[in-house]
Amino acid sequence: MTPRSLPALPDGVTVEELERLCIELASEAARFIREERPPRMGVAATKSTETDVVTVMDQRSEELLHRLIRQSRPDDGILGEEGADVTGTSGLTWVVDPIDGTVNYLYEIPAYAVSVAVVVGDTRSQGGWTPVAGAVADPCRRLVHHAGRGSGAWTSPEDPAEGVEPTRLSVSAEERLARTLLATGFGYAPDVRARQAEVLLRVLPLVRDIRRIGSAALDLVRVADGSVDAYAETGLNAWDLAAGWLVVEEAGGVVLGAGEGPGSAPGTALTVAAGPALVHQVRTLFVGPDGVTG
């Protein structure tokens, strides 16, 4: 599949500087949520359901990201999971998830991330925006996975002072569905979970196995580094997938949504990520004649 071309950026702005800033912001927030985590975590509120929690640290991490973005790029917009959005004037919008995998973070399961991306286009419109730089920081492993449009996908240490060279990422070369290790996730609403479970009853016998990590951003990174062959999930928002989407594409993978054609954008209806030889096979597991099945 032909890689996406780089959208026009504001005058004087480069992909390299945006990627570098994504890395810095994600790494700073990752250090914050790791080092400032209270001994007894508190749940600030629930969102869509009683199981969809937001912690005090989600809110504090997003406040930190907002402050750092406004200091560095005051004219850009900001879209964040916790809702304190900013309308910009530059044509660039930062899409942030302060803790992706909040339930894992709450229970001290070491699989959560900070996702930071900068995009061009209308983030309120499905398929109306494109990520140009992004970073997914893994606080538990002290790593940051990052990409800029046209510059490849990489994993670097959280602390550049370690002097470790970045590792280039590449998606799995698996071509057969029966040998596919498939990552997925579940929504919070009980009726959505029930539908997703029904779909997996049909999907599981057709693939090698299923993995449920609990962080969409890390699922996408695992596709990018080849530690899983594919990923598919319904219900993702822009902040869940913006950075990981770009990392997968720059690692040689393809990210699709529920719509027809090669330009199908990922989103709430469906997000599928895999290598070029596998992505459409995986997509057919979740999209039938009547649309998305789970």
Instruction: Output the pLDDT for position 180.
Output: 98
3-state SS of the chain is CCCCCCCCCCCCCCHHHHHHHHHHHHHHHHHHHHHCCCCCCCEEEECCCCCCEEEHHHHHHHHHHHHHHHHHCCCCEEEECCCCCECCCCCEEEEEEEEECHHHHHCCCCCCEEEEEEEEECCCCCCCEEEEEEEEEECCCCEEEEEECCCCEEEEECCHHHCCCCEECCCCCCCCHHHCEEECCCCCCHHHHHHHHHHHHHHHHHCCEEECCCCHHHHHHHHHHCCCCEEEECCCCHHHHHHHHHHHHHCCCEEECCCCCCCCCCCCCCEEEECCCCHHHHHHHHEECCEECC
Q: What does CATH list as the number for 15-168? A: 3.30.540.10
Instruction: Output the pLDDT for position 294.
Output: 55
Higher pLDDT, 83 or 66: 66
292 pLDDT exceeds 80?
A: no
289 pLDDT exceeds 80?
A: no
Q: Report domain extents, the chain.
A: 15-168, 177-292
Instruction: Output the pLDDT for position 2.
Output: 47
Residue 188 pLDDT level (bands cut at 50, 70, 90): confident
Task: Express each pLDDT in 142-171 by its tens digit.
Answer: 999 999 999 999 999 998 877 788 999 999
Task: Average the pLDDT over 239-248 and give the result.
Answer: 97
- What class is the 177-292 domain? alpha beta
The pTM score is 0.92
Smallest CA-to-CA distance from 52 within 216, 221, 190 is with 190
Instruction: Output the pLDDT for position 1.
Output: 42
Q: Both tokens of residue 162?
A: 């370690």
Instruction: Output the pLDDT for position 41.
Output: 62
Instruction: Output the pLDDT for position 187.
Output: 81
Residue 202 pLDDT level (bands cut at 50, 70, 90): very high
50 pLDDT exceeds 70?
A: no
| Distance from C-alpha of 112 to C-alpha of 143, rounded to nearest angstrom | 12
